[in-house]
Amino acid sequence: MSTEPIHHGPDAAEVRALLARRAIAIGLVPAMQAHDVPDEVIEQLLEREVRTPQPTEEECSRYYAVHQDEFVSGALVAARHILFAITPGAPTALIRAQAERVLQEVVAEPATFEACAQRDSNCPSGAHGGHLGQLSRGQCVPEFEHALFDESTALGILPRLVNTRFGFHIVAIDQRVPGQLLPYEAVREQIARQLLARVQETALLQYVRVLAGKEGIELPGIEAATSPLVQ
């Protein structure tokens, strides 16, 4: 079982120390190794004490039915954007206000989009009017991809700014090429892995909460539980 969901959060050191003490308490490693418990022992502890059921066929098929947009292959979007980049220490509120003003400008006069991209965009694509070419799923950061493929099926300038880790984007969608829904059988294993990862993360967090409750300690960001039945 992967320990990633809890080993790389803000309390990773405290969580690992808690797990190391539990490994010592049940005899997986001698007490003299308290300050040097190997990762393999932590993995062994979690495999032994954290049980996560495999997703059922019903759960997988239900997820497929509700989230079919995730399993469309071959969909393409031709898009342009104007990027207002956010860098460390930059005045985010002022940058957003500038982006909102330009958004209003290009919504009122769509023909000015390319000129505004050349004038205002912090992306190299600005020199070419903001053209990004044809994009498919998996080519963009999730927030940008969601705006392109999931929020609307319309063409034209999106009516709101798209906020990503890079900054604020004004986005114009010029063309859509519909994809094809993959059959359930082709994505069943992918869905099962996805659902299992979610269950494992929840189970690991609950396990840590119970251990913290038993020791009577507080971990910042993790509420201790006094019972393993607490969900």
Total domain count, the chain = 2
Q: How many CB atoms lie within 10 A of CB 35?
A: 7
Please check whether residues 52 and 111 belong to one and the same domain: no
At 123-170, the pLDDT tens digits run: 999 999 999 999 998 899 999 999 998 888 889 999 999 999 999 999
Q: Is the pLDDT of residue 174 over 70?
A: yes
What residue type is assigned to position 69 of the chain?
Answer: D
**Residue 96 falls within a domain, yes or no?**
yes
Please check whether residues 45 and 82 belong to one and the same domain: no
The pLDDT score that the predictor gives to residue 9 is 46
**Residue 226 falls within a domain, yes or no?**
no
Q: Give me the mean pLDDT over the 175-199 stretch.
A: 93
Give the SS3 label for residue 76. Answer: strand
At 44-84, the pLDDT tens digits run: 999 899 988 899 999 999 999 999 888 888 889 999 999 99
More confident residue, 24 or 230: 24
> Residue 192, class by beta-carbon neighbours within 10 Å (0-12 exposed, 13-18 middle, 19+ buried)?
middle
At 106-121, the pLDDT tens digits run: 999 999 999 999 999 9
Please check whether residues 194 and 118 belong to one and the same domain: no
**Percent helix, strand, coil in the chain (nearest 5)?**
50, 15, 30
Please check whether residues 211 and 144 belong to one and the same domain: no
Please check whether residues 193 and 136 belong to one and the same domain: no
Please check whether residues 165 and 124 belong to one and the same domain: yes
Q: How many CB atoms lie within 10 A of CB 141?
A: 11
Domain that holds residue 135: 75-178
Q: Is the pLDDT of residue 213 over 90?
A: no
At 22-55, the pLDDT tens digits run: 999 998 888 776 677 888 888 899 989 998 889 9
Share of the chain above pLDDT 90, in %: 53
Please check whether residues 55 and 85 belong to one and the same domain: no
Please check whether residues 97 and 168 belong to one and the same domain: yes
